[in-house]
Amino acid sequence: MRMYLMFAMKAFSNQLAYRSEVWLRLLGNFVTILIQVEIWRAVIGNGNVAGIRAEQMITYSIVNTLLFALLLNGVSSKVDGSLKSGGIASELIKPLSYPLYLLFDGLGNSLYQLAFTVAPSLLIAGLFFGMLPPATLTNFLAFLLALMLALIISFLLGYLISLLAFWFMNHFALSWMMGGLITIFAGSFLPLWFFPPSWASVANMLPFQYMGYVPAAIYLGNITETELWQVLAVGAGWIVGLLVLVQWLWTRAVRRLVVQGG
């Protein structure tokens, strides 16, 4: 485990070389939140829509925008680069678990984003737009659990795409499709409680809601305490299912790997 923690620390320190990028990310987060805040203020005004007030939607937008910055979405790009360069061969002969290496590398990047992008953006957004506190202490603790589920599910979905790239030799189209599905069904911009029943049913059958809607809804208390633990248990079930799937794909992907040149 110590070796993987070192990989996470290395990923964190590598990001320090791009400190100037922090200002662009802070500006990008601020503009993204500003646009959503103005849209929801215009749509909801001083009243409510389906029982949801503008203050709740502003908090929802802030939580979702900053949560997206923490997700482990760069896994498929990293594996795709290794496949094209042939570097995957040297990675596989090292005495380590390649999936765990990818996970801790991603966690190191997320820790950097948390310290230098998400925390400052949260402070700025709170000052400019206002932000509701967690509904209860239980909701806050459950939100932290949901955040961990979101990180793991985002990693497993990115890893799934990278494994499929072993067959297609390119991850771009798959990643593009996955990005579209996440944008719609994670509820990043439009919460699931505004979805028509048919679309909400589809979203509830997919894991993407755990990467946006579920953490924000738990934070706001829009998921009752009775439903809360059931929702988290289903998220844990998705993790187990995805783990089985990626392990099955991994054993087959390695068998068909052919590295040319040297």
96 Rama class: left (phi>0) / alpha (psi -120 to 50) / beta: beta
Q: Is the pLDDT of residue 262 over 70?
A: no
Half-sphere exposure (Cβ direction) of 48: Cα atoms closer than 13 Å: 6
**Residues 6 or more apart from 84 whose CB is under 8 A from it?**
none
What pLDDT digit, counting tens, does each position of 200-235 carry? 999 999 999 999 999 999 999 988 878 888 999 999
Distance from C-alpha of 79 to C-alpha of 161, rounded to nearest angstrom: 9
pTM beyond cutoff 0.85: yes
Half-sphere exposure (Cβ direction) of 217: Cα atoms closer than 13 Å: 23
Q: Where are the domains of the chain?
A: 1-255
Q: How confident is the model at residue 13 (pLDDT cuts 50, 70, 90)?
A: confident
For 173, other C-beta atoms within 10 Å of its C-beta total: 11
86 Rama class: left (phi>0) / alpha (psi -120 to 50) / beta: left
pLDDT at 97: 83
Helix (H) / strand (E) element for 49: namely strand 48-49
Q: Is the pLDDT of residue 103 over 60?
A: yes
